[in-house]
Amino acid sequence: MSRVQSIERAFAVLSALGDGPLGVTVVAERVRLPKSTVARLLAALVAEGAVEQLPGGTDYRIGERLVGLAAGVQPTRSLVAITRPQLVDLALLTGEAAGLSIPDGFTVHYVDQEDSPNPVAVRDWTGVRLPFHVTSAGLVILAHCRNAEVERFLAQPLERFTALTVTDPAVLRERIRRARVDGFAWTRDEFAEGISSVAAAIAGPDGEAIGAIHVHGPSYRFPAADDPGGGQAVADAVVAAAARITASLRRAG
């Protein structure tokens, strides 16, 4: 294992402070170093903003700099980490690619995907952004929005991606209504010919959609909504996985 002694020691000091504010002597005891060494490390960490002294006292605590460094990284990373095992299970269960997206303005932003075990599959969309109306994830996210927000989306010109893309606001309202009832939404050949999908939303603490998971695949073998061959079973699996993710987030919160 590579090591820089001072960095190792600095992190030992930071970990000691992770439990709450402490003085030099207590930190020295915990990390088993002389007080002078600990004092110097603390002073260096204070200079970096990683540690700060309590006002009017001599105890030290974790500083804003660490919060700042961690802050840019946290939210999506947690969601991806919590969601990943569910995507793996879904891909195996359905034989199709399973993905995660988060809302970003009026688009969905694909942030993770577990590929299909099938040799014939839809490519990885991670990193791509697509408007709500052409994706199953977008429709279920809209289903979790307030009507005013839905109307704001529908008020703008909606791009037609294929001959089958739905851009009529009245038809979209009806699909959003159904997604609210069903808990999932389907699309077929609307973003691109030959690609179908079904999605369910991941709910935040106030019921808002913080993301959605979907399964998608080539239309020639992907079940349709009304397919007696298994469409409902795929939708149920996606809804169940989304519910497990929502529950995990609440426990983690």
Partner DNA sequence: CGGGACTGTTCCACATCGTGGAACGCGACA
Partner DNA sequence: TGTCGCGTTCCACGATGTGGAACAGTCCCG
Q: How far apart are CA 142 and CA 151, in angstroms?
A: 10
Mark the segment that binds DNA (CB under 7 A) among 34-42, 79-87, 160-168, 240-248: 34-42
Binding to a copy of itself in span 107-166, by CB under 8 A: 109, 111, 126-127
Instruction: Express the helix, strand and coil content of the chain in percent, nearest 5 each.
Output: 45, 20, 35
Q: Nearest distance from residue 192's CB to DNA, in Å? A: 11
The one-character DSSP state at 132 is G
Through-space distance between the first and last CA atoms of the chain, rounded to whole angstroms: 33
# residues contacting DNA (CB under 7 A): 24
- Please report the DSSP string for 10-63 in residue order: HHHHHHHHTTS-B-HHHHHHHHT--HHHHHHHHHHHHHHTSEEEPTTSS-EEE-
One-letter amino acid of 67: V
Contact between 212 and DNA per CB under 7 A: no
At position 132, the amino acid (one-letter code) is F
Nearer to DNA, 6 or 15 (CB): 6
Q: Is 1 in the site for a copy of itself (CB under 8 A)?
A: yes
* 113 vs 246 by CB, closer to DNA: 113
User: Which positions from 94 through 153 interact with DNA, judged by CB under 7 A?
Assistant: 123
Residue pair 165/134 in contact (Cβ under 8 Å)? The answer is yes
Q: Residue 15 interacts with DNA (CB under 7 A)?
A: no
Q: Between β-strands 209-218 and 195-203, what pairing exists: parallel, antiparallel or unpaired?
A: antiparallel
- Check residue 47 for interaction with a copy of itself (CB under 8 A): yes
Binding site for a copy of itself (CB under 8 A): 1-4, 6-8, 10-11, 14-15, 18-23, 26, 40-41, 43-48, 50, 54, 57, 59, 61-62, 65-74, 76-77, 104, 109, 111, 126-127, 205, 253
Binding site for DNA (CB under 7 A): 3-7, 9, 23-26, 33-37, 39-43, 53, 58-59, 123
